[in-house]
Amino acid sequence: MGMYKGKNFILHSSFAFSTQINRQAFFDEDVFYQQAISFLRKEAITLSPETPKGIVLISYND
């Protein structure tokens, strides 16, 4: 499912494509197309100020 890097737990990338995850268990942030593309390129993106720290699901819906 993932691994620890220092003090942080990093989820495996295949987790993002899982149909078995409980979407209510995580905060969900909707992003615009350009933010989604930047995220997929592993570039930094800015999320809304109310987004909590920790694991966040990033969603793009056209």
Confidence category of residue 62, pLDDT binned at 50, 70, 90: low
pTM of the model: 0.66
In 3D space, the residue among 47, 42, 44, 43 whose CA is nearest the CA of residue 59 turns out to be 47
Joined together, the tokens standing for residue 51 give: 């987004």
Joined together, the tokens standing for residue 48 give: 């809304």
Q: Could you read off the pLDDT of 8-41 as tens digits, one per residue?
A: 888 787 877 788 888 888 899 999 999 999 988 9
Task: Return the top range by mean pLDDT from 1-5, 22-26, 28-32, 53-57.
Answer: 28-32
